[in-house]
Every structure is written in structure tokens, then in C-alpha cells.
Amino acid sequence: MKQYGAEFFGTFWLVLGGCGSAVLAAAFPGVGIGLLGVSLAFGLTVLTMAYAIGHISGCHLNPAVSIGLWVGGRFPGRKLAPYIIAQVVGAIAAGGVLYVIASGKAGFDVSAGFASNGYGAHSPGGYSLLAALVTEVVMTMMFLLIILGATDKRAPQGFAPLAIGLGLTLIHLISIPVTNTSVNPARSTGVALFVGDWAVAQLWLFWLAPIFGAALGALAYRLVGREEA
């Protein structure tokens, strides 16, 4: 239960910190943090939680990561469902807290996006479904490669949170214009439920593509990262 609680709070922090920076601070007049700041915020949430709860739950914070680690032989299948439930509930709780905060400002309109992920008309840069699909698959694949490599027992010890946090920052720098960056079904769900409408209608992509990409990344690391006999 401690592991599931850690995943709840860790995913809560990821969504509140990452999506919160996008909703509250990205375009703040005069000092808005923009795309670079939001990318860094997502990376910092993972970096800080990796040090805080990595020794408790492994700090997955992401259903795609949990599934990828299972495919990679690093995580037991019996824990998949409880981990994913804890992550999604934590993300929804963070979305609720963020909604209460954001709605305290006059003129707040949740239908404007609320940091939701989207494609087509709801892509920040107007990118197509195919572009969004490829982006999410490839970015999540590379994220799993980073995670599996950085946490390998042969890798330098103690630096995995830095590599993973900076990797997620880079992923956001690349893909925010395309999909607003998911690579995490829990993160997508946590805000989409409050937007409803198009955000929920397009949510399927941000479950399917990250999970598929994570599995590809895990299989790729099993191929290139296995120890020589």
C-alpha cells in the first residue's frame, strides 16, 4: 500500500506541477514562463519525485512507464493494475485541485484547453492525427529507453533522476507544439475529464500511443541493452 500511495502522490505532483505551470504560469503577463518553462516544470516534477519516492515505488507516475517496465522485465505484472489505478486517481485529484485554483480567476474558461492533449484542431500547432500518433509513440519509446538505461545496474549510480527528468524536459520541448505532450495516459486523463467534450473524445490516442511506444522502448532496450554472455 505504501508503493501505491507513493504513486498517487507522485502522479499528483507531476500533474499539478506540470499542468499547473501550463495553466497558471505559461502566459502570465510580463513574466510568463512559456514553452521552455512548462517543459522544465514537467522535468522537475519527475526529478524531485524520483528522489522523494523512487526508493518506495520506483517513481513510475505513468501507466505507460509501468507497462513498459513490465515488458522490459523490470516490474511484476501483478502490480500493474494497482499502480495504474493509483496513478490515474492521483492525476484526477491534481486536476481537481488545479481546477479549483484556476477557476478562482475571473474569466477562466476550462473549454480553452486546461492543458489537455489534442490533435487536429486541438493541437497547439494544428498537427494532424498521424503526426500526433507518431510523436507520442516515438517520444514515449525514447523515454523508456532513457529510464531503462539510466536505472540499469551498470549505469552510474545516483544520476538516474537527473537523466529521466532532463529527458522528460527535452521530450516536452520537442512535442508541446504537436500534442501539448502526453507520453503519460494518467496526465492526459487528469485534466481531460474536467474539459470533457473534445478532450475526452481524443483521450483514446493518449492512452494507446504512449503504451505502444513504451512497449517498443522496452523491447528495444532488451535488444541493445542486454549484457553480453
pLDDT for 130-156, tens place per residue? 999 999 999 999 999 999 999 998 888
pLDDT of residue 155: 86
Domain of 53: which CATH number?
1.20.1080.10
What is the C-alpha separation between 198 and 69, in angstroms, rounded?
31
What is the C-alpha separation between 19 and 1, in angstroms, rounded?
26
Q: Which amino acid is at 45?
A: T
Within-domain flag for 43 = yes
What is the C-alpha separation between 148 and 142, in angstroms, rounded?
10
The answer on pLDDT for 45 being more than 80 is yes
Within-domain flag for 201 = yes
The answer on pLDDT for 27 being more than 90 is no
Q: Using one digit for the tens of pLDDT, what is the confidence trace for 78-125?
A: 999 999 999 999 999 999 999 999 999 988 989 888 999 999 999 999
Within-domain flag for 115 = yes
Q: Using one digit for the tens of pLDDT, what is the confidence trace for 174-225?
A: 999 999 999 999 999 999 999 999 999 999 999 999 999 999 999 999 898 7
The answer on pLDDT for 158 being more than 90 is no
Within-domain flag for 149 = yes
What is the C-alpha separation between 171 and 139, in angstroms, rounded?
6
Ramachandran region, residue 138 (left: φ > 0; alpha: ψ -120 to 50; beta: rest): alpha
Domain of 59, in residue numbers: 2-223
Closest alpha carbon to 98 in 176, 185, 187: 187
The answer on pLDDT for 30 being more than 90 is no
The answer on pLDDT for 229 being more than 60 is no
Within-domain flag for 215 = yes
Count: domains in the chain: 1
What is the C-alpha separation between 209 and 206, in angstroms, rounded?
6
Within-domain flag for 129 = yes
Q: Using one digit for the tens of pLDDT, what is the confidence trace for 47-84?
A: 999 999 999 998 999 999 999 999 999 999 999 999 99
**What's this model's pTM, rounded to 2 decimal places?**
0.93
CB distance 162 to 83 below 8 Å: no
